[in-house]
Amino acid sequence: MASDFSIRGVVPPVVVPLRSDRSLDVDAFERHINRLVDAGVAGLFFLGSSGEVAFSTDEHREQVIREAVRIVDHRVPVLAGCIDMETQRVMYHADKVMELGADAIVVTAPFYAIPGPHDVENHFRDIHAHIGAPMFAYDIPVCVHYKLSPEMLVRLGVDGVLAGVKDSSGDDISFRYLCIYNTDAGHPLSVLTGHEIVVDGAYLSGADGSVPGLANIDPDGYVRQWNAYQAGDWETVRSEQDRLARLMRITSVTKGVGGFGAGVGAFKTALHEMGLFPTNQMPMPVEALDGDNVAAIRGVLRQIGLVK
Amino acid sequence: MASDFSIRGVVPPVVVPLRSDRSLDVDAFERHINRLVDAGVAGLFFLGSSGEVAFSTDEHREQVIREAVRIVDHRVPVLAGCIDMETQRVMYHADKVMELGADAIVVTAPFYAIPGPHDVENHFRDIHAHIGAPMFAYDIPVCVHYKLSPEMLVRLGVDGVLAGVKDSSGDDISFRYLCIYNTDAGHPLSVLTGHEIVVDGAYLSGADGSVPGLANIDPDGYVRQWNAYQAGDWETVRSEQDRLARLMRITSVTKGVGGFGAGVGAFKTALHEMGLFPTNQMPMPVEALDGDNVAAIRGVLRQIGLVK
Amino acid sequence: MASDFSIRGVVPPVVVPLRSDRSLDVDAFERHINRLVDAGVAGLFFLGSSGEVAFSTDEHREQVIREAVRIVDHRVPVLAGCIDMETQRVMYHADKVMELGADAIVVTAPFYAIPGPHDVENHFRDIHAHIGAPMFAYDIPVCVHYKLSPEMLVRLGVDGVLAGVKDSSGDDISFRYLCIYNTDAGHPLSVLTGHEIVVDGAYLSGADGSVPGLANIDPDGYVRQWNAYQAGDWETVRSEQDRLARLMRITSVTKGVGGFGAGVGAFKTALHEMGLFPTNQMPMPVEALDGDNVAAIRGVLRQIGLVK
Amino acid sequence: MASDFSIRGVVPPVVVPLRSDRSLDVDAFERHINRLVDAGVAGLFFLGSSGEVAFSTDEHREQVIREAVRIVDHRVPVLAGCIDMETQRVMYHADKVMELGADAIVVTAPFYAIPGPHDVENHFRDIHAHIGAPMFAYDIPVCVHYKLSPEMLVRLGVDGVLAGVKDSSGDDISFRYLCIYNTDAGHPLSVLTGHEIVVDGAYLSGADGSVPGLANIDPDGYVRQWNAYQAGDWETVRSEQDRLARLMRITSVTKGVGGFGAGVGAFKTALHEMGLFPTNQMPMPVEALDGDNVAAIRGVLRQIGLVK
């Protein structure tokens, strides 16, 4: 009954390079994807929160998935975010991305309207009934203001509605129970953590992989960490994590900014400083980081050794 | 510099009748709109939270506004919700509704992605620069998890970016200051409260009107209250409000439900029980109220005298 | 069955003057109390949040109530805050203040430990069973992180457990229902609003009085407003409120401060600038406002005409 | 400059056995303490949240610490919670417990009044200046609604104000940075996690120990886990944690209860079912668990093998 789509390893949520007119920079996107695939990732997640899905028109979403599918070319699975307020718009996006060749869809709880006690589970079941594609639940209360319960997630896994979970909830207790209940149910779900600063703890809890935004900057570090985990080398798992936690300070050394602009803004600025993105352009209405904030990020990269 | 679009009085956020297949029931919609206009409302707000904008495909949104513009036929202004996650999608909806003949757009703070300190003001300014139509800011933190500040709203009013505000924040202190600062600035904004249970207090604070979801059920009550306010008859203003607060209990007498399904679900159920809507059908994934919950709502309507 | 203690009118929560060694300045306290009583208040509330109860040792609490009872000398009722984490400590304080001659006690929901579904109601009932004194429930979720429901409050009023409510919740919808249910139950509760910026709206909702911290600065304004309300002169009620809302900006014109230090700190600074308090000393660990912040508060007082 | 008090290992926050008249059951307390010490704990924490400090009169607090110091008799350090709303009451408790022979004090951020930007750091510095005893900061935002920052904690460690931290924040990202910054500063702080379900992740992050409420039930499990951590045996660390996470379900299998009554109530019920506590009596106003809830807890204990 459970989905036969599964995934194990590092699945970066891909950050999108924009030109100064805010259009997709396809060449930079191709180089970025190839760098991630070459690093040994297990899959790529497009149009997630870091992939600025919220800021995207339908046309932009379509271009991102079309190019992603072309560039990835079946080297790893393509997971496509179908993030929108409620069920019907999610179905619309799901139809589109599956037509374009995605391998799985990623869906949050509904948001904007406050859900009642049955709405969230109905939402996932209705979408599964509509499209049948492998589906990951994306648990991201900081954006949708609703926490998915481990009990519901495992129930949906057992029923074949969900193939997996991307847990960006920051709730490591809930994550532990998700792993335990999933194991007890025969492991229907691929359980991935989006919690980039404590991926090591999630592996100890039994995670099947990770979806760290920071892997856009340092995919090798997260792949090394995964390989150490597979080898049972926990000292490397934790020391690699400490190094990555220090790198993650690019998102907190800045001043006078916050939210998405401080987080994904720092990722784009780091990729620009490292020579991998031609700009650090952000989508409307967010301003790109500049001045002292760029210098502060560069300082962190220099400490870690990612720039000179 | 300030917008020359203004509005004073009751502006119901129109609830949408659906057939059992969840398509728009155009005939019931026409009767419902005509009932509201005949009651003496000052405008109609379509595709708000109560107008289930979050649950609507782009095609459904277009149909709602097209039919609304046709039916209203310039008897009162048509305000059209352009609710979406971020700036570019809001611009898309704004272009659509203005092409279809709406008189003004209604826009929330961006949501899903966490905004930085300048993003929200940039959002409204970017949309104004793009379309120039009369724009109302919709302050609804319960849905978008961000509170618009009175200072920013009045600044945007003075600069002609905003024509008004629909305040559904439930923060009556902030509302008081919004009214005071707006007066001090020469009253650039039409300030409307969406706070249906204490509209009387908002009028005392200086509101230019109200946007009560409950006016879908009892438009006459809210229009009588507005007229009493214009006449300085505060005893009628408050006693009418007490009556309407009792009617609003249709949204809290139910059990085992919550959120949008308990709120708009109760409105639709009441309209169905009163013979005005052929069904109480809800959009996917929300279930219509049934059984004891319908009976409890009917009980409230009977106490108020809206059904026998 | 209902308590026979009732109160109608303005009941300031009294701010406490400290010497520079943080001991009670009894002379200034006496002058302050007399000024409030002379203004025509209906009662005085000591050891509330504004009365820095949280910062007080048991000895300091005892001194405050002892001196208050002596100074007030039965001219108006003395309400004494018995604010502490859980039931037994509240009982301890209640015994003390009643021995010292207070007329009624004021009690919040328990805090620190998270309450279960019956704990809050049990708390009030247990305290009533212990002491039997007239008791006001103090609804202040910003401090105790729990909202008292109108249904529970009226039930406790009907049962004689509560004589009244001080509502500082900022939830004007809940307040409206509290007034409606209280009326329906035969008005067992004296319902007072602590919501100083929109007292007018609370009176429109049916409040029996107010507990405005700002009345420490301008008791005459709140008493004039109350008298206008009693006379049905709503235009005076609202214009007086607008004036007081402008005065309340002493709590928001400051910079680099927040919370209690910005709120009660502004009250004490204003009283000092007006020559009524010898210092603006705050309790440990809060720093008194100084420099530009004092100047900004003085600017607001000058605009209102309370200093030259 | 840093404190010379340090601790490494398991430090249970001791649950308090009450007689049916809610007085301390000294005999059961003695047996309980001895069981914990014999299991190999590194210290004992009295009058924490689990030690029902919020529900205690000053006399009860004094009795608990007096008996604890007598029973422990220097076998392990006694940490005494000095939990109260603001600085002066904390100083009062600190004086008492140090007189009674405690080895260190445990202090939260101030609560009830909303703190300004400097109040929390001033609070810890003022208390240190007053008493000078080894002090642990207790980071428990669920009770005090304020999160202590890693930067401030390490600064206070470097300055000798704090000897350690008990982190019950549930924020594992903040905890990781606390460990990293503490290491960079020369390890002035003993960093303990209160996060009983994912202690393994905290050890991976570099914790110096744990303060798990659940260790009242199963001290041997947490001590085995600590010893495995010291030996670098991570597979035992995680499998022991999985077992303890399953045991922790005693706090979530109950129905119709919540908060402290569901958490500490389950601990007391389990200890009663295991024959270690003569009653599962709770402090006023909390009701003891009964009926089906006791049976559900017993079911969990049976699955783990702690009862037959």
Question: Alpha-carbon distance C6 to C248, whole Å?
Answer: 28
CA distance B256 to B264: 15
pLDDT of residue C3: 82
pLDDT in tens, chain C (308 residues): 678 899 999 999 999 999 999 999 999 999 999 999 999 999 999 999 999 999 999 999 999 999 999 999 999 999 999 999 999 999 999 999 999 999 999 999 999 999 999 999 999 999 999 999 999 999 999 999 999 999 999 999 999 999 999 999 999 999 999 999 999 999 999 999 998 999 999 999 999 999 999 999 999 999 999 999 999 999 999 999 999 999 999 999 999 999 999 999 999 999 999 999 999 999 999 999 999 999 999 999 999 999 99
d(CA A128, CA B123): 34
Which residues of C fall within a CB distance of 8 Å from B206?
238
Contact D86 C257 (CB under 8 A): no
Residue A4 has pLDDT above 90, yes or no: no
What pLDDT was estimated at residue B267? 98
User: Parallel, antiparallel, or unpaired for β C104-108 and C78-81?
Assistant: parallel
All structural domains of chain B with their residue ranges? 9-233
pLDDT at B52: 97
List the structure tokens of A125: 């079941």
The mean pLDDT of A160-188, rounded to a whole number, is 98
CA angle D16/D18/D24 to nearest 5° reads 80
Whether ipTM > 0.90 holds is yes
Cα separation of B282 and B263, whole Å? 11
> What type of residue sits at position D142?
V
C116 vs D283: CB contact, 8 Å cut-off? Answer: no
Provide the sign of the torsion angle of the four alpha carbons C46, C47, C52, C57, taken in this order.
Answer: positive
In the structure encoding, which two tokens stand for residue C102, read together?
Answer: 């207070």
Helix, strand, coil shares, percent, chain A, to 5: 50, 10, 40
> What pLDDT, on the 0 to 100 scale, is given for residue C199?
98
CATH number, span C9-233: 3.20.20.70
Min Cα separation C117/chain D (Å): 6
Burial of B122 by CB count in 10 Å (0-12 exposed, 13-18 middle, 19+ buried)? Answer: middle
Q: What is the pLDDT of residue C1?
A: 64
Q: Would you state the structure tokens that stand for residue A50, as one six-digit string? A: 């870091």
**Percent of chain D, pLDDT > 90?**
98
Contact B86 A111 (CB under 8 A): no
* Pairing between β-strand C9-10 and β-strand C209-210 as defined by DSSP bridges: parallel
Nearest to B259 by CA among B97, B138, B142: B142
Q: Which of A197, A201, A241 faces D198 most closely, judged by CB atoms?
A: A201
* Nearest-by-CA chain A residue for B118: A286
| Contact between C86 and D282 (Cβ < 8 Å) | no
Closest residue on chain C to D284 (Cα)? C87
Q: Do D242 and A180 touch (CB under 8 A)?
A: yes
Do D201 and A197 make contact, defined as CB atoms within 8 angstroms?
no
What pLDDT band is residue D2 in, cutting at 50, 70 and 90?
A: confident
- DSSP annotation of A113 reads S
Q: Hey, are the CB atoms on B86 and A284 less than 8 Å from each other?
A: yes
Residue D23 pLDDT > 80, yes or no?
Answer: yes
For residue B242, give the chain C residue with the closest CA: C180
Q: What is the DSSP letter of D213?
A: G
C187-225 pLDDT, tens digit each: 999 999 998 999 999 999 999 999 999 999 999 999 999
Q: Report residue C282 as tokens.
A: 């705050």
Query: Are D285 and C259 within 8 A, CB to CB?
Result: no
Test C122 with D55 for CB contact under 8 angstroms: no
- 3-state DSSP assignment of residue C139: strand
Query: Does the predicted TM-score (pTM) go above 0.90?
Result: yes
**What is the phi-psi region of residue B7: left when phi exceeds 0, alpha when psi lies from -120 to 50, beta otherwise?**
beta
Give the residue from C59, C102, C111, C63 showing the smallest Cα distance to C83. Answer: C111
- Please state whether at least 3 CB pairs lie below 8 Å between chains C and A: no
pLDDT for res A1: 64
Mean model confidence pLDDT for chain B: 97
Pick the residue from chain A with its C-alpha nearest to D174: A197
- How confident is the model over A96-149, as pLDDT tens digits? 999 999 999 999 999 999 999 999 999 999 999 999 999 999 999 999 999 999
CA distances, A55 to each of A124, B114, C121, C219 (Å): 23, 12, 47, 52
- H or E stretch covering D222: helix D219-230
- Give one word for A257, left, alpha or beta, with left for phi > 0 and alpha for psi -120 to 50: beta
The per-residue pLDDT for range B31-69, each reduced to its tens digit, is 999 999 999 999 999 999 999 999 999 999 999 999 999
pLDDT in tens, A242-286: 999 999 999 999 999 999 999 999 999 999 999 999 999 999 999
Residue B51 confidence (pLDDT)? 97
Show which subunits contact B, needing at least 3 CB pairs below 8 angstroms: A, C
- Give residue D159's pLDDT: 98
Is the distance from CB of A56 to CB of B24 less than 8 angstroms? no
Q: Which of C222, C247, C246, C249 is nearest to C236 (CA)?
A: C222
> Which of the other chains make 3 or more beta carbon contacts under 8 angstroms with chain C?
B, D
- Residues from chain C that touch D86, judged by Cβ atoms under 8 A, are 54-55, 283-285
Partners of residue D202 in chain A, C-beta under 8 Å: 201
Find chain B residues with C-beta within 8 A of A286's C-beta. 116, 119, 122
- Give residue ranges of C with CB < 8 Å to any B CB: 170-173, 176-177, 180, 195, 197-198, 200-202, 204-206, 232, 234-235, 237-238, 241-242, 245-246
Q: How far is residue C132's CA from residue C94's CA, in Å, rounded to a whole number?
A: 10
Q: Measure the N-to-C terminal CA separation of chain B; round to a whole number of Å.
A: 53
Q: Give chain B's length.
A: 308
CB B44 within 8 A of CB B78: yes
pLDDT tens for each residue of D195-213 = 899 999 999 999 999 999 9
Contact D180 A245 (CB under 8 A): yes
What average pLDDT does chain A have?
97
Per the listing, tokens 């409260």 go with B193
CA distance A88 to chain B (A): 6
Shortest CB distance from D113 goes to which of C92, C116, C259? C259
- What is the pLDDT, as a whole number, of residue A3? 82
CB < 8 Å to D293, chain C? none
Structure confidence at residue B1 (pLDDT): 64
Tell me which of B82-86, D3-7, D42-46, D274-278 is least confident: D3-7
